[in-house]
Each structure stands twice: as structure tokens, then as C-alpha cells.
């Protein structure tokens, strides 16, 4: 045998080590049905406090259960680990939950009120720096505790204390100052710093799920150098260590391949479960995912990317397995509202500081044309920031929104000092380059040129640069998108408060802020909704952002074969209520 063949052969033999093959999960053994669905991205973590991704939450909701939950069919809040909706004190500040006596962890332990306090404390600590820390700050003392602990950690090195001592001190400080109490194992009392009308919604939110304190503490890492206390990620990644209180328990997790969960033997509503196993297949390429779905290798494909070319065909197809509906999110363009703009050529006056210019630009956009011919997905066109029909008890002020009216737009622009649109210069639309934002931007720039004579550039930049520039007002007009986190208008409207960290437009209207504040203190829900609508109307008149359309959800499943999925704007899922016709 020639030497070079030996070399080549030896090379292959040495390299062919450990292919990492992963067989697909079989059907549930007890014949109770297996739900196989496609996820477009892998799960990053199963830590309920450690993520803000919808796809992570989707699986976390299989494994953990919060105090309350939303029924996907009726969109009503109902008790989950709690045995009833909480009792609320007259001032709206104290919530008392009593826990279901038969709520169990997957190892058989009872779910205790301290398990909630343990999990929530993590989210309130700078050590963990949770995405949703901000939501916990409504709990009395939480914000101060965060600041206290930050200070403690900053002084840690100089103090010479042991990390364990500092941690013990922090735990004591937390117990004394933060408004969470567990008078007994079955009662959880929460004291808020102000009335939070939507606190029940938060209690149903994934970040507010409990952790099994007894097993989690063994995985606490106390860093002797910095004093930071974190949970090892290993706790959440292995079926051997993760203890959940949800309908399912983790059976197998292969990152970027699949996740398998099986019905938990200790779940309190086990008898009502419609399937025994859920298999999440990770398929990031939408074409591959569609092939897989059509070959019946998956029962359900939620979250079909609407940016893919095939999406418009699916939407138009009238197929019974295509489910297309609005989502609780809005696609919009932000206007930089600051009086001056920092450009490459130094500071200059910002024409967009004048709300008339912003309104005029917004009025010159034909949103119907945009969704019919450009995105081709016929999304619901947006007049308001809060999507209609998404939040129970709130009707956004659609009449206060801007309608397409090129003639009025031209007149308004003239009134603002630009009788000739061409005099309005220096504007550009900032977009991130991926995700198909370029086409709508070009179409809108074209509409402005056609209807107003205004020439606007389209600037496509890479996404981290985009985020950075938007955050630091390095733009005149920037695309934006916003999904609600919880079912209350403030999840949208708070973004435009002057002091809000997400107010990238730097919109500053004291009346708007005051209206939001009045609504925040209001205990009567109808009055509160009216005040919030008034605030939104005021904001829409100013148009710090120009709503374009509301986001949509596209999912595929055959209603003949799969029952119990109720597509809804908030993507509330309940996997255990989905039944699958037995496959042959």
C-alpha cells in the first residue's frame, strides 16, 4: 500500500472520534401521546429568573409553575400553585396568596412559600443581574436592597470579610427590609411599594416562578474574590439535578438538538394532562423546518419566521393547518425628539424636535400599502402603540392615531416651516441589516419623497452597532419593535416615560408622565384604563414614534390531529392541555 494512502487512512481513523450522534426521542412509552414541536432556536437556559427569551420561557413553563396562570383558551387568569386568586388589601399594597396543599415538586416535596421567596430574591440581587430585575422592583424594599447589595459587593474587597459572612448579612438584610413574608409554608404575603394594578399578571409571569430551595442551595457558588453569589448553571441543565414544580420534568436536553420532557408523577393536575411527553426539536433553518413539518416529523411549528419568503404564501394559502393571528407587539419607527442631534459634522438643530414634522412624516406613510405590497403579510396596520384586543380591559385610542393623508401632511409640514419638503434635510432611517427591515425602510423613504418631497436616506448597520446607536440617540429615525411582557398597557406606555431606560426617542412630555403617574395611583380599574388611554392619545398626538403595524404570529399544526393549542397574541401555551391523535 502506498505510504500516502496509509497517511490518509490514519488521518481518518484518528479523526473519527465521537460523532456526537443523537437519536430522536421515541414516543412516550405509556402511550399517552407525544407532542413534537419545532423550535427555531435552541434553549439557552431553563433558569426562570435567568432569561428573557420567549423560547426559553416556553420550555420553562413546562417545568415550572407560577402562582397564577393564564388560560390560553379564555385568556383568563386562574390559580396555578396558588389555590385561588390572592386577597388584596384595600390600599392595593398587600397581596396574600395561599398555596395549593397538593402542589408538589418533581421529587415529591411540597411547594413552599419560601421557595418563591428564594427564587425572587435571586432576581432582586445584582449578583445575578437578571433581565427582569426591574419587574421585581415593585416589591417594597426591592430597589433599596438591590442598591444595598451592589454597595456591599463594591466594598467587599476592601472590607476583608469572608464571602460567606457577607452573604449571610445580605440574606438577613433581605429578610428584614424586603416586603416578602412566609408566615407558614402555604402562605405568601407580598407588600408592594405602590399599588400595582397588574400584579396578578406578574404573578403569572415566568420570571416569578419558584425554585426548589432545598436542592438549589447546594448549587450556590459563592465567589471568594468578588463575594458574588450565583447558582451554577449545571443545576438547570441536568435531569438529575433540576427539580421543577410544573406538569413535566426534564428527561433529556441536548443543546441545539432536542429537549425531551415527560409528565411529572407529582404534578397536582396530572390527571388532566392530555399528553405524556413533549419533544422540542431545534431546527434553525426555516426551510428545513418546513420540510420536517410537511414530512410529519413534527406535529407543530409555532413561530414560523414571518421574514422568510415562504411566509406570505402560507398566509395566503387558506390551508386549515396555517394559523395566523396578531401578536402583542408593535413595529414602529422612532423619531429622535431631542432639540439637537450629534452628527458627524457636529451638533445641529433637530427638525424632528417639532412634533408637527413628526406627525407630517407619519401621515405620509401608507401603512396599508406597506403590509400588502412590501411585507406581503397583511399585518394589522397600527394607529396606536398598544395593540388593540391584546389587553383585557384596555381599548387603545385608535381615533387619536395618525391616518394616511398626504395632502394634510404637506400642509402640516409647511406650517412647521418646510413649505418645500426638500428643505427638510439630514434625515435617515437607521435599521439593522438582518431581518428584512430594509424593504419597508426603502418603501417608506420612497413615500416621503413622493408625498412630501423629503429625501431620507436608509442606513443599514450591523445589529450591535444598531443597538448602540439607538441607545445613544445616534440617529434621526430608527426602526423599533416592542413586545409586551405582561398584560397591562404600561408594559408599552412606560417605555416613553422621560426617565425610562428604554426611551430611546428621548421623548419628554411632563403631562404624559403625570398622567401615567395618576393612573399608577388609581385603584379603580376602569378609571385607570381611561387615564392610560388619555396618556396614549396625548403621546400619539406628539408621535415620538410612528406605529406601522402590529406583529403577527404564524404557526402550523393540523387541527384534525392536534387539539388544544389556542393561538393567542401573548403566545400563552399550555402544553399539557394539547392532545395528539395517536400516530400509526
Residues in 376-415 that interact with other proteins by CB under 8 A: none
Q: Contact at 8 Å (CB) between 438 and 430?
A: no
Scanning residues 277 to 296, which ones bind other proteins (CB under 8 A)? Answer: 281-285, 287-288, 291-292, 294-295
Residue 52: closest CA among 115, 129, 150: 129
Work out how close the CB of 286 gets to other proteins at its nearest, in angstroms, rounded to a whole number: 10
Q: Contact at 8 Å (CB) between 38 and 554?
A: no
Choosing from 32, 45, 148, 222, the residue that interacts with other proteins (CB under 8 A) is 45
By CB under 8 A, residue 132 contacts other proteins: yes
Beta bridge partners of 189: 96, 181
Which residue lies nearer to other proteins by CB, 405 or 459? 459
Scanning residues 320 to 379, which ones bind other proteins (CB under 8 A)? Answer: none
Write the CB contacts of 460 (distance below 8 Å, at least 6 apart in sequence).
431, 432, 433, 437, 438, 441
CA dihedral sign of residues 453, 459, 463, 469 = negative
Q: Contact at 8 Å (CB) between 348 and 472?
A: no
Rounded to whole angstroms, the Cα distance separating 329 from 570 reads 9
Work out how close the CB of 130 gets to other proteins at its nearest, in angstroms, rounded to a whole number: 7
Helix orientation angle between 438-452 and 355-363, rounded to the nearest 10 degrees:
100
Rounded to whole angstroms, the Cα distance separating 103 from 313 reads 45
Number of H helices, E strands in the chain: 20, 22
Choosing from 28, 46, 279, 413, the residue that interacts with other proteins (CB under 8 A) is 46
At 448, list the grid cell: 416621503
Give the helix ranges, DSSP H, for 352-423.
355-363, 367-369, 406-415
Which residue lies nearer to other proteins by CB, 45 or 518? 45
The count of residues interacting with other proteins (CB under 8 A) is 78
Scanning residues 418 to 447, which ones bind other proteins (CB under 8 A)? Answer: 432, 434
Count Cβ atoms below 10 Å from residue 558 Cβ, excluding itself.
15
Q: Contact at 8 Å (CB) between 37 and 280?
A: yes
Beta bridge partners of 300: 37, 557
By CB under 8 A, residue 131 contacts other proteins: yes
Scanning residues 538 to 557, which ones bind other proteins (CB under 8 A)? Answer: none
Rounded to whole angstroms, the Cα distance separating 513 from 193 reads 19
Scanning residues 136 to 165, which ones bind other proteins (CB under 8 A)? Answer: 137, 146-147, 150, 153
Which residue lies nearer to other proteins by CB, 54 or 411? 54
Residue that is written with C-alpha cell 420553562 in the block: 60
Which residue lies nearer to other proteins by CB, 24 or 419? 24
Which residue lies nearer to other proteins by CB, 47 or 321? 47
By CB under 8 A, residue 7 contacts other proteins: yes
Work out how close the CB of 333 gets to other proteins at its nearest, in angstroms, rounded to a whole number: 14
Which residue lies nearer to other proteins by CB, 418 or 482? 482
Choosing from 74, 78, 84, 129, the residue that interacts with other proteins (CB under 8 A) is 129
**Choices 37-45, 107-115, 346-354, 507-515 (CB under 8 A): range interacting with other proteins:** 37-45
Beta bridge partners of 229: 222
At 521, list the grid cell: 395611583
Rounded to whole angstroms, the Cα distance separating 380 from 548 reads 9
Which residue lies nearer to other proteins by CB, 159 or 226? 226
Work out how close the CB of 274 gets to other proteins at its nearest, in angstroms, rounded to a whole number: 27
Which residue lies nearer to other proteins by CB, 48 or 302? 48
At 83, list the grid cell: 389555590
Scanning residues 55 to 94, which ones bind other proteins (CB under 8 A)? Answer: none
Work out how close the CB of 294 gets to other proteins at its nearest, in angstroms, rounded to a whole number: 8
Choosing from 11, 91, 101, 184, the residue that interacts with other proteins (CB under 8 A) is 11
Work out how close the CB of 436 gets to other proteins at its nearest, in angstroms, rounded to a whole number: 14
Rounded to whole angstroms, the Cα distance separating 555 from 285 reads 15
Write the CB contacts of 396 (distance below 8 Å, at least 6 apart in sequence).
384, 385, 386, 387, 388, 489, 533, 536
**Choices 48-56, 107-115, 267-275, 335-343 (CB under 8 A): range interacting with other proteins:** 48-56
Helix, strand, or coil (residue 1): coil
By CB under 8 A, residue 313 contacts other proteins: no
Scanning residues 445 to 504, which ones bind other proteins (CB under 8 A)? Answer: 462-465, 467-468, 471, 480-483, 485, 495, 501-502
Work out how close the CB of 140 gets to other proteins at its nearest, in angstroms, rounded to a whole number: 17
Each residue 216-255 as x (binds other proteins by CB under 8 A) or -, in order, gives ----------x-x-x--x--xx----------------xx
By CB under 8 A, residue 571 contacts other proteins: no
Scanning residues 12 to 31, which ones bind other proteins (CB under 8 A)? Answer: 12, 15-24
Scanning residues 517 to 536, which ones bind other proteins (CB under 8 A)? Answer: none
> How would you label 422-444 residue by residue, b for 16+ Cβ within 10 Å and e otherwise?
eebebbbbbbbeeebbbebbebb
Phi, psi of 557 (to 5 degrees): -160, 150
Count Cα neighbours of 111 within 13 Å in the Cβ-side half-sphere. Answer: 33
Which residue lies nearer to other proteins by CB, 193 or 292? 292
Residue 69: closest CA among 580, 575, 581: 575
Which residue lies nearer to other proteins by CB, 71 or 143? 143
Q: Contact at 8 Å (CB) between 382 and 545?
A: no
Work out how close the CB of 215 gets to other proteins at its nearest, in angstroms, rounded to a whole number: 17
Which residue lies nearer to other proteins by CB, 32 or 42? 42
Work out how close the CB of 525 gets to other proteins at its nearest, in angstroms, rounded to a whole number: 24
Work out how close the CB of 494 gets to other proteins at its nearest, in angstroms, rounded to a whole number: 9
Work out how close the CB of 39 gets to other proteins at its nearest, in angstroms, rounded to a whole number: 11
Amino acid at each position: 500500500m502506498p505510504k500516502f494512502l496509509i497517511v490518509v487512512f490514519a488521518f481518518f481513523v484518528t479523526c473519527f472520534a465521537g460523532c456526537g450522534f443523537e437519536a430522536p426521542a421515541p414516543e412516550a412509552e405509556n402511550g399517552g401521546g407525544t407532542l413534537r414541536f419545532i423550535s427555531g432556536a435552541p434553549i439557552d437556559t431553563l433558569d426562570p429568573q435567568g432569561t428573557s427569551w420567549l423560547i426559553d420561557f416556553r420550555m420553562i413553563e413546562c417545568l415550572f409553575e407560577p402562582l397564577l396562570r393564564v388560560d390560553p383558551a379564555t385568556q383568563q387568569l386562574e390559580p396555578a400553585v396558588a389555590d385561588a386568586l390572592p386577597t388584596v388589601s384595600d390600599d392595593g399594597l398587600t397581596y396574600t396568596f395561599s398555596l395549593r396543599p397538593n402542589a408538589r415538586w418533581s421529587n415529591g416535596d411540597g411547594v413552599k412559600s419560601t421557595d418563591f421567596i428564594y427564587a425572587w430574591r435571586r432576581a432582586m440581587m445584582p449578583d445575578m443581574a437578571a433581565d427582569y430585575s426591574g419587574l421585581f422592583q415593585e416589591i417594597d424594599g426591592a430597589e433599596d436592597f438591590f442598591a444595598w447589595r451592589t454597595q456591599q459587593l463594591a466594598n467587599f474587597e476592601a472590607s476583608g470579610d469572608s464571602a460567606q459572612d457577607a452573604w449571610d448579612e445580605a440574606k438577613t438584610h433581605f429578610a428584614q427590609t424586603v416586603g416578602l413574608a412566609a408566615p407558614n409554608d402555604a402562605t405568601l404575603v407580598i407588600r408592594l411599594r405602590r399599588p400595582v394594578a397588574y400584579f396578578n399578571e406578574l404573578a403569572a409571569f415566568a420570571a416569578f416562578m419558584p425554585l426548589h430551595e432545598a436542592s438549589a442551595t447546594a448549587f450556590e457558588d459563592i465567589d471568594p474574590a468578588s463575594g458574588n453569589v450565583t447558582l451554577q448553571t449545571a443545576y438547570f441543565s441536568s435531569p438529575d439535578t433540576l427539580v421543577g414544580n410544573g406538569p413535566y420534568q426534564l428527561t433529556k436536553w441536548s443543546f441545539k438538538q432536542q429537549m425531551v420532557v415527560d409528565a411529572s408523577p407529582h404534578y397536582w393536575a396530572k390527571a388532566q394532562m392530555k399528553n405524556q411527553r413533549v419533544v422540542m426539536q431545534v431546527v434553525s433553518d426555516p426551510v428545513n423546518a418546513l420540510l420536517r413539518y410537511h414530512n410529519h416529523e413534527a406535529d407543530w411549528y409555532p413561530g414560523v419566521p414571518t421574514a422568510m419568503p415562504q411566509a406570505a404564501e402560507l398566509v395566503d394559502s387558506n390551508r386549515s393547518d396555517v394559523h395566523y393571528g396578531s401578536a402583542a407587539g408593535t413595529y414602529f419607527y422612532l423619531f429622535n425628539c431631542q432639540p439637537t442631534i450629534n452628527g458627524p459634522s457636529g451638533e445641529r438643530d433637530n427638525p424632528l424636535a417639532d412634533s408637527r414634522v413628526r406627525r407630517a412624516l407619519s401621515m405620509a406613510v401608507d401603512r396599508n400599502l406597506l403590509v400588502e405590497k412590501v411585507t406581503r403579510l397583511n399585518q394589522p396596520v397600527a394607529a396606536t402603540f398598544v395593540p388593540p384586543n391584546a389587553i383585557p380591559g384596555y381599548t387603545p385610542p385608535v381615533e387619536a392615531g395618525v391616518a394616511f393623508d398626504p395632502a394634510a401632511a404637506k400642509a402640516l409640514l409647511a406650517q412647521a416651516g418646510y413649505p418645500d419638503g426638500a428643505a427638510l434635510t439630514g434625515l435617515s432611517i437607521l435599521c439593522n441589516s438582518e431581518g428584512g427591515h430594509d424593504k419597508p425602510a426603502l418603501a417608506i423613504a420612497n413615500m416621503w419623497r413622493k408625498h412630501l418631497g423629503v429625501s431620507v436616506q436608509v442606513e443599514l448597520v450591523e445589529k450591535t452597532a444598531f443597538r448602540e446607536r439607538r441607545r445613544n440617540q445616534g440617529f434621526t429615525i430608527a426602526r423599533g419593535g416592542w413586545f409586551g411582557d405582561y398584560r397591562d398597557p404600561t408594559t408599552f406606555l412606560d417605555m416613553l416615560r422621560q426617565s425610562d431606560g428604554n426611551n430611546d426617542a428621548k421623548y419628554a412630555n411632563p403631562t404624559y408622565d403625570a398622567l401615567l403617574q395618576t393612573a399608577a395611583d388609581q385603584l379603580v380599574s376602569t378609571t385607570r384604563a381611561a387615564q392610560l388611554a388619555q396618556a396614549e392619545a396625548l403621546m400619539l398626538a406628539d408621535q415620538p414614534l410612528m406605529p406601522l403595524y402590529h406583529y403577527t404570529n404564524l404557526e402550523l399544526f393540523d387541527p384534525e390531529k392536534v387539539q388544544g393549542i389556542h393561538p393567542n397574541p401573548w403566545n400563552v401555551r399550555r402544553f399539557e392541555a394539547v392532545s395528539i391523535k395517536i400516530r400509526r
